[in-house]
Amino acid sequence: MAVTLPVTPAPLNTDFCGLTLNSPIVLLSGCVGFGEEYTRVDGFSNADVGAVVLKGTTRESRLGNQPHRVYETPAGMLNAIGLQNPGMDRVVDHILPGLDFAETRFFANVCGSTIDDYAAVTKRFDDSPIDAIEINISCPNIKQGGVSFGNYPDMSAKVVAACRAQTSKPIIAKLSPNQTDIQENARLCIEAGADALAVINTVMGMAIDTENRRPVIGNVRGGLSGPAIKPIALLKVHQVYEIAGPRNIPIIGQGGIVSARDAIEFLLAGATTVGVGTALFYDPMACKKINTGLADYLKVRQLQSVSQLVGALQL
C-alpha cells in the first residue's frame, strides 16, 4: 500500500530513484541515530526533510570504538564512533516499527567487515519497510571493512554487486574521498547495480593532545566532517556528476552543508539531493532554514523545481 507523505511547496519536491521526497534535504547516517533523536527537539520534524538515513547497521551488534570518539576541530568535527549499533535484527524488528513512514522516507545504512556481511544485512532490510539502502563502503573509522572496500574501485563494485543480488530496493553507494580515482569507483559501482551515489563520506584525519603526546581519538584516526571539507566535497560531486549525470544516476551531495547557499552550490555541481549532518549538532533547525532559502532562491529566479538547478553549473 502506497504511503502518502506530507505536502511541501511544490518546488522542493524531489524525485530520487523513483521516490518522491518532500525536500532535497537528506539527514545523514550517524548524525540522527535511528531517526527519532531529533524529533525530541521542539520545532524539529522529520517531515521537513526528504529522507533520513539511519545509523550504520551491521549483522551483529557492535560496541564501537574506545573513547574519545568525537572531537571538535576548526570548522568541523572529527569522529570515530566505530559503527556502534544493536545489530540488524534489533533494528528491523524493534526500531523500524517505531518510525513514522508517513512522515518522511527512511534509508538504511548497511555496513560490514566482509562482503557476505554486507549481503546479509541488505537481505535483512529488503524484507522491511525501508525505502532505500545505502551501502557504506567508505567508513574511515573502523579498522576493517568500510574503508578497505571503499578505497578500491574493484572491491567497491563487488560489495555493490553482492548487495544488488539481495534486494530490489534502490541501492545508494556511499563513496570515499580518501581514494585515488573517485570517478572510476563511481563508474564501477553504477555498473555493479548502484541506483544512486552518496558523495562524499568523511575525510580521514586525526588530532593530537600535545600535553600527553597522544592521539585525541581512541581509534587514532577518524572522519572529518563539517564546513572544513565543503570545498573537497563540492569538487568530488562535480567529478562524479561527470560520470553519473549522463547515466541519470542521482547523487546525494554532502560535506559541510549548513545553509541554503551551501545546498545550492552542491545542486549546481550535480547533486540531486543534499545531505545535512554535522550542522544539526549546533543548529537543529538548519533544515527549516535551508528549505526556506531554497524556496526563496527558486522564486526569485522564477524556477519551478529544484531539479532545474541540478548540474546547472556554467563552465
Residues recognised as catalytic = 139
Q: Which amino acid is at 140?
A: P
| Contact yes or no for 164/104 (Cβ under 8 A) | no
DSSP state of 92: I
Query: For residue 41, what is its C-alpha cell?
Result: 527537539
| Alpha carbon distance 10, 21 (integer Å) | 11
| Alpha carbon distance 82, 124 (integer Å) | 21
| Alpha carbon distance 150, 127 (integer Å) | 26
Which contacts (CB < 8 Å, 24+ apart) does range 61-65 have? Answer: 61/85, 61/86, 61/87, 61/90, 62/87, 65/141, 65/142, 65/218, 65/219
DSSP state of 61: -
Query: For residue 281, what is its C-alpha cell?
Result: 549538532
| Alpha carbon distance 10, 260 (integer Å) | 17
- Give the residue from 153, 149, 172, 147 showing the smallest Cα distance to 83: 147
Q: Is 297 helix (H, G, I), strand (E, B) or coil?
A: helix
